[in-house]
């Protein structure tokens, strides 16, 4: 009796779909003021949850511009349910056969983690996109103020020494 139940459960398992969870480490290239990477994943029918952790990013803060996109085919489609960057929700949408998620100038600090979850209907579907981080570049006036401040400190130290 138990063997019959196990065989029946195993036979019905594909009918219910399955959930996939993948973790990716993506090397950001560039720096010190502009980093970028391409990312994406492919999944079969069912729910999925992907986590992208970005390495080689050494800035304390920056601004992220990114996009993810999927184009539906006659045999498959992918829809984004939630997309978050460091825990902050990112807007997603379905426009005709396109499923998109866009990050347009989100300020970030520290390590970067992008979490993407969604559903694949049909056989197999994939999504891809670009991830770019820019950091503030000091203005020339900032360097001038730094040099002036150092000159004042040097002058004060020399006067004290005499």
Q: Using one digit for the tens of pLDDT, what is the confidence trace for 89-113?
A: 999 998 888 899 999 999 998 889 9
Residue 39's closest CA among 129, 126, 99?
129
pLDDT, greater one: 13 or 40:
40
Is the predicted pLDDT of residue 140 greater than 70, yes or no? no
Residue 56's closest CA among 92, 11, 17, 26?
26
- Tally helices (H) and strands (E) across the chain: 2, 9
Is the predicted pLDDT of residue 130 greater than 80, yes or no? yes
The CA distance from 33 to 51, in Å, is 24
Question: What was the pLDDT predicted at 70?
Answer: 93
Question: What was the pLDDT predicted at 20?
Answer: 66
Q: For 44-72, write each residue's pLDDT tens digit.
A: 999 999 999 998 887 778 999 999 999 88
Is the predicted pLDDT of residue 3 greater than 50, yes or no? no
Task: Tell how strand 34-55 and strand 18-27 pair up.
Answer: parallel
Is the predicted pLDDT of residue 135 greater than 90, yes or no? no
Question: What was the pLDDT predicted at 105?
Answer: 92
CB 78 within 8 A of CB 120: yes
Domains of the chain listed by start with CATH number:
17-161 (2.60.120)
């Amino acid at each position: 009796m138990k063997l019959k139940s196990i065989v029946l459960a195993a036979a019905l398992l594909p009918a219910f779909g399955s959930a996939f969870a993948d973790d990716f480490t993506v090397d950001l290239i560039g720096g010190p003021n502009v980093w970028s990477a391409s990312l994406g994943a492919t999944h079969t029918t069912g729910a999925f949850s992907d986590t992208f952790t970005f390495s080689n990013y050494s800035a304390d803060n920056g601004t992220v511009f990114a996009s993810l996109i999927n184009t539906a085919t006659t045999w498959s489609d992918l829809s984004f349910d939630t997309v978050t960057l460091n825990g902050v929700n990112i807007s997603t949408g379905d426009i005709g056969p396109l499923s998109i998620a866009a990050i347009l100038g989100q300020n970030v600090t520290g390590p970067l983690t992008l979490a993407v979850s969604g559903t694949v209907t049909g056989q197999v579907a994939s999504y891809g996109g670009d991830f770019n981080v820019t950091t503030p570049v000091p203005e020339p006036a900032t360097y001038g103020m730094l040099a002036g401040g150092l000159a004042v400190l040097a002058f004060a130290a020399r006067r004290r020494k005499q």
